């Protein structure tokens, strides 16, 4: 359950746990035939990789949680969270992105049961860079959500 006192870490943990449980291995039509996540991380800068064997890396970034008054007694968070995947080929990157989005879409009810509502895919992005003698293909999806909590009132 998401609590207002631990909101950022609770929201991050809900997404991280769901994705880590659902997104593990994908099959691809080119060699080596499948890829399995090597590292799950909370930010890209936490991960150092020097070879192809260090990839794929899945990153669940900290959520952004801007707040606004919803009613006299409630605050609404219109938040977003970005999930990134780094792989060695574009087909794997696309398939992992599909798996990430499916893990969130399929379990919207589970997210709602802990207080995260109106989950919608907000945006995707992609890129690639050369890392020494291999390419790193990057995909990102941004999901938006709503979380409401009782305001702390002070007189």
What local confidence, expressed as pLDDT, does residue 140 receive? 98
Helix (H/G/I), strand (E/B), else coil: 7? helix
Burial of residue 111, with CB atoms counted within 10 A of its CB: 0-12 exposed, 13-18 middle, 19 or more buried: buried
Q: Of the given ranges (48-57, 63-72, 106-115, 141-150), which has the lowest mean pLDDT?
A: 48-57
Question: If pLDDT is split at 50, 70 and 90, which confidence band does 8 have?
Answer: very high
What local confidence, expressed as pLDDT, does residue 152 receive? 82
Walk me through the domains of the chain, giving residue ranges and CATH numbers: 4-150 (3.30.2000.10)
What local confidence, expressed as pLDDT, does residue 46 receive? 66
Torsion of CA 143, 126, 12, 105, to 10 degrees: 40
> What HEC string does 67-91 produce?
EEECCCCEEEEEEEEEEEEEECCHH
Judge whether residue 110 has pLDDT over 70: yes
- Summarised one tens digit per residue, pLDDT across range 52-77 is 888 999 999 999 999 999 988 999 99
d(C-alpha 143, C-alpha 111), whole Å: 12
d(C-alpha 86, C-alpha 37), whole Å: 9
pTM of the model: 0.92
What local confidence, expressed as pLDDT, does residue 155 receive? 66
pLDDT top residue among 1 and 122: 122
């Amino acid at each position: 359950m998401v609590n207002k006192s631990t909101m950022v870490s609770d929201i991050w943990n809900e997404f991280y746990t769901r994705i880590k449980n659902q997104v593990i291995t994908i099959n691809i039509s080119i060699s080596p035939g499948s890829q399995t996540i090597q590292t799950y991380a909370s930010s890209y800068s936490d991960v150092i990789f020097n070879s192809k064997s260090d990839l794929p890396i899945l990153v669940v970034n900290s959520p952004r949680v801007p707040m606004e008054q919803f009613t006299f007694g409630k605050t609404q968070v219109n938040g977003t969270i970005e999930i990134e995947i780094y792989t060695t080929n574009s087909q794997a990157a696309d398939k992992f992105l599909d798996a990430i989005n499916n893990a969130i879409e399929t379990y919207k009810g589970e997210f709602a049961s802990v207080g995260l509502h109106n989950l919608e895919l907000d945006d995707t992005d992609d890129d690639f860079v050369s890392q020494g003698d291999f390419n790193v293909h990057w995909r990102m999806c941004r999901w938006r959500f709503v979380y409401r909590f009782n305001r702390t009132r002070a007189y």
